[in-house]
A and B are shown apart, each in its own frame.
Chain A
Amino acid sequence: MEKRAVFSHQVLPYLLLAPQIVVTLVFFIWPAFQALLQSVRQEDPFGLRVKWVGLDNFLFIFRNPDYFDSLMVTAIFSISVALLSLVVALYLAVQADRVIRLATGYKTLLIWPYAVAPAVAGVLWLFLFNPTLGIFAYLLSRFGYEWNHLLNGGEALLLVIIAASWKQISYNFLFFLAGLQAIPKSLIEASAMDGAGRVRRFWFIVFPLLSPITFFLIVVNIVYAFFDTFGIIHQVTAGGPAKATEILVYKVFYDGFVALDLGGSAAQSVVLMMIVIVLTVFQFRYIEKKVQY
């Protein structure tokens, strides 16, 4: 670690750290430890009997077709959200990077959905696609398509994907734009002089230079789709119809709070914890690379 002069107090540093550490221990580490403990036990819903079951809870969830379905839904959901919002954001950022006049204006108008809560983004799109009075549902019916996400699982999944992507575009846009503006103009001009057209310049010069940011954003978007979209799912579909939109986080909530399957819910929590740890490690490895880059 760095060498620098410091204060020499015996007690003060502990006092300064105390609030952060107490909150961390009581509300983070202790509950996480409880989840671990709970995941290897079986408890009846009234908490009267507890027995040690080893890895049974894990075996149970992995053998359970419901869990597998939820895993698939989560995979489709997060890949779609990441792809859709990254592609749209990159396309808009490339355009915005070219503009000289009004550049800040466009930026302001494109970034504010970041401030909209996922739960609110869900309501906005729920209203647009409401089968009886939504404007999009109406337009679709004019074209002969009867939209009803309350009955059709595919449509429900599409709806939450759209809502989740819509909210994430602004975040990706901001990072892509910063990345594009950091690319030296001389590089682009040199390749233009060598006769590379607009499309080639993008794919052979710009896109490779953006790859660290793209990689970072893929990780962030997957984390977002996995965890932060709970509000959208809860508000728009509540996991339905017939569990067609039940992503893993929603399933943990549902099994623990509504179905009161404590062991199963805890085992699912532990699996999610592993996923977060892997994603965090990925994110931090990338950061190290960025420093050299």
Chain B
Amino acid sequence: MIDRERWLQVFTHAVLILGVLIVAFPIYVTFVASTQALRDIMQVPMPMLPGGHLLENYLQAITGGATSAGNSPVGIMLFNSMVMALGITFGKITISMLAAFAIVYFRFPWRMLFFWMIFITLMLPVEVRILPTYKVVSDLGMLDTYAGLTIPLIASATATFLFRQFFLTIPAELFDAARIDGAGPFSFFKDILFPLSRTNIAALFVILFIFGWNQYLWPLLITTQENMYTILIGINRMLTVGDDQAEWQIIMATTMLAMIPPVFVVVVMQRLFVKGLIETEK
């Protein structure tokens, strides 16, 4: 055994604790600010311990939002973010699984052409085709709709590859056995592939939920009505106050609310998260 000196252990823990503190400090300050009255935040320096306005601020945010942002309630935005995140997650998983099933378990003309077509989406993030994609969505009348928030983002090369790789590891004997027992494509998918894929689906769920929840550029482009804003767009509108005073206590409460769902998913499903993160990068 090496590296077991006492001082080194102490030093190691000290560095890690410092790291944890640096990582957590911005969130702590945000939390503290979300429990204060605006008046207390405005005195410099602001208090570093939580105040007594937690319930008041969060209720105000959820039901009434910030005055500067037209009082649109954050509750609706949370709902929109949830619809977008879950829509993208389930959409991606469903269509990718079906596509991988077709590519691995069928032989048909142009199979590889389709495979490469899906591959190309990796190289075309929204950021490089902003305007034309906006135009397509607008021509299809999908601006300010849930369909517009989700469908254009659900094509997924990564998820398709992941399922393809996984299907290829399933022994051919299992397929043969299922065929002998008279299983057609549907029952094979439902009774064998789907149950075997459960862990992969769960791991993908964690990664894709975070991806969907954290989308920013896309909802910024296609939502113009306040009742369609996602929570991240809502925060942006609250910050854009011009000469007025930004209502920091509400902005900070909304920021906390925007962080809770994805952070919760990562912390609770940590093992699946790590698995998903490492596998989607393969």
Contacts and interface: CB of A to CB of B under 8 A. Distances in A.
Contact of A111 (B124, B129, B130, B266): B266
Given A20-B96, A112-B263, A257 B131 contact: yes
A113 interface: yes
B155 A5 contact: no
B185 A9 contact: yes
A109 interface: yes
B194 interface: no
B123 A230 contact: no
Given A23-B95, A29-B117, A273 B41 contact: no
Interface residues of A, number: 97
Contacts of A175: 278
B244 to A, nearest CB: 14
B154 interface: yes
Contact of B252 (A127, A198, A230, A231): A127
Interface residues of B, number: 100
Interface stretch (B56-64, B68-76, B254-262): B254-262
Contact of B101 (A4, A5, A16, A256): A16
Interface in A219-255: 220, 227, 230-231, 234-235, 249, 252-253
B30 interface: yes
B270 interface: yes
A119 B19 contact: no
Contact of B33 (A25, A91, A127): A127
Contacts of A114: 210, 266, 273, 277
27 contacts: A5-B175, A6-B107, A7-B185, A20-B95, A20-B99, A24-B120, A31-B136, A91-B15, A95-B12, A112-B263, A114-B273, A117-B258, A118-B216, A124-B26, A127-B26, A133-B41, A139-B45, A170-B23, A174-B274, A227-B127, A227-B128, A231-B216, A234-B217, A253-B217, A262-B131, A272-B127, A276-B128
Interface pairs A-B: 5 shortest CB-CB: A117-B214, A31-B132, A34-B132, A13-B106, A16-B102
Interface of B: 2-3, 8-9, 12-13, 15-16, 19-20, 22-24, 26-27, 29-30, 33, 41-42, 44-46, 48, 94-96, 98-99, 101-103, 105-108, 111, 114, 117-118, 120-125, 127-133, 135-137, 151-156, 160, 168, 172, 175-176, 179, 184-185, 188, 210, 213-214, 216-217, 220-221, 232, 235-236, 239, 248, 251-252, 255, 258-259, 262-263, 265-267, 270, 273-274, 277-278, 281-282
